Amino acid sequence: MSLPEKQVGPGLYLDEGNNLHLDVPELLQHFNVADTPENRETVSQAALDVFRRIYPNVPAHLVE
């Protein structure tokens, strides 16, 4: 995976347009959680749910 240029936290990156990108395997590693398909799905869905609560009028989706 080619990550955007600015890292803002473990597994969190901003691209040139200030769009947030998550590196789920990096997040799992940082929190010492096994990198399994189930854990990847859980983290991805949790991040999307949080974003939708904070920004209910902003379209959001997961990109693999």
**Residue spans per domain, the chain:** 6-54
Helix residue ranges, H only, 3-36? 24-30
Query: Which residues of the chain register pLDDT less than 70?
Result: 1-4
Distance in angstroms (rounded) separating the CA atoms of residues 64 and 62 = 6
Distance in angstroms (rounded) separating the CA atoms of residues 12 and 19 = 10
Q: pTM of the prediction?
A: 0.77
pLDDT value of residue 1: 54
